[in-house]
Amino acid sequence: MGVRVGERAGAALSWLTSMEWEAPGILLHAEPFGEGDALASVLTEAQGRHRGLARGGASRRQAALWQPGNLLHLRWLGRLADQLGSFSGELIHTGAAPVLDEPLLLAMLSAACAVAEGALPERAPHPRVFAGLLRLIAELPRGAAMLAAQVRWEATLLAELGYGLDLSCCALSGARDGLAFVSPRSGRAVSEAAAGVWRARLLPLPGFLLDEEAPAGPADWRDGLRLTGHFLARDAFGQQHRPLPLARLSLYQRVAESTKE
């Protein structure tokens, strides 16, 4: 009898103590905690955005590992599911190092990580957002052309959070062709022909959001960032009474300034 009770208690205890998972994850943010540890926030496919203590994460040995944008093989372990828990990680792909010397690419990486960190709720899986961010970071070294992919990823993130843009047809006329604007209130597309006197109030819709193959330049990237930035600020961050992250604002500013040159 005593053995059975012990077994049951052991089983219950093992359930309590087996709070762990292993998965690839993208590091979004790590801030020093104590002398050598770091509080890390990662994005994984199945666990969503997840925080944990990376022991030694701020130490000289591990500082290169816990950099935003790095893809890590993570192991999270906590005594209870709702505890902060702790991470250990191994590098799979370095997303940060290839772009450190490129101001625009570094700004893109920082902005993407900051948006994911600020907009996504904790421990809610968003596989499409994870897959999109993974692809974006992997292809960042291709250069400024990846700004279109970044805007598309932000649109995906908005859709996943329930604030998706409706770019299927014109909100006013129902037309499917000639879509050139988005209503800043409804997030629905408006055609060039139907824009009329409201044109100045509408947000320009860059062609690459309708057709991935459409050619795009700095002005299109700027318009795209302005478009998703408006809805991120109003909905994803506004609902939390938080401003758009500084890194995202800096990216828009950098791209907008490049269109003036």
Partner 1 sequence: MGGPEIERLIAELARLPGFGPRAARRAALRLLRQPQARLMPLIAALRDAADAVRPCARCGNLDSVDPCTLCADPRRDQGLVCVVEGVGDLWALERAGVHHGLYHVLGGTLSALSGVGPEDLNAAPLLARVAAGEVREVILALPATVDGATTAHWLTDRLRPHGIAISRVAHGMPMGGALDALDDGTLAAALRARQAV
For the record, the structure tokens of 61 come out as: 């040995």
Q: How many helices, marked H, and strands, marked E, lie in the chain?
A: 7, 8
Q: How far apart are the first and last CA of the chain?
A: 82
Residue 40 as a binder of partner 1 (CB under 8 A): the answer is no
Query: Residue count at the site for partner 1 (CB under 8 A)?
Result: 30
Residue 51 sits in the site that holds partner 1 (CB under 8 A): no
229 binds partner 1 (CB under 8 A): no
The alpha carbon torsion through 125, 127, 131, 137 (nearest 10 deg) reads -10
Q: How far apart are CA 153 and CA 167, in angstroms?
A: 15
Asked whether 252 and 226 are in contact (CB, 8 A), the reply is yes
Cβ-based burial of 56 (10 A; exposed 0-12, middle 13-18, buried ≥19): middle
Stretch that binds partner 1, among 18-26, 112-120, 160-168, 199-207 (CB under 8 A): 112-120
| Position 133 contacts partner 1 (CB under 8 A) | no
Q: Does 167 bind partner 1 (CB under 8 A)?
A: no
Does 97 bind partner 1 (CB under 8 A)? Our answer is yes
Taking CB under 8 A as the rule, does residue 160 contact partner 1? no
Residue (59 or 159) nearer to partner 1, CB: 59
Pick 30 or 151: Cβ nearer partner 1: 30
Q: Is 31 a residue that touches partner 1 (CB under 8 A)?
A: yes
Which of these ranges, 16-24, 113-121, 159-167, 184-192, lies near partner 1 under the rule CB under 8 A? 113-121
d(CA 204, CA 198): 12
* Beta carbons within 8 Å of 184's beta carbon, 6+ residues apart: 201, 202, 203, 230
Positions that interact with partner 1 (CB under 8 A): 29, 31, 35, 63-65, 67-69, 91, 93-94, 96-98, 100-101, 103, 106-107, 109-110, 113-114, 117-118, 245-247, 250
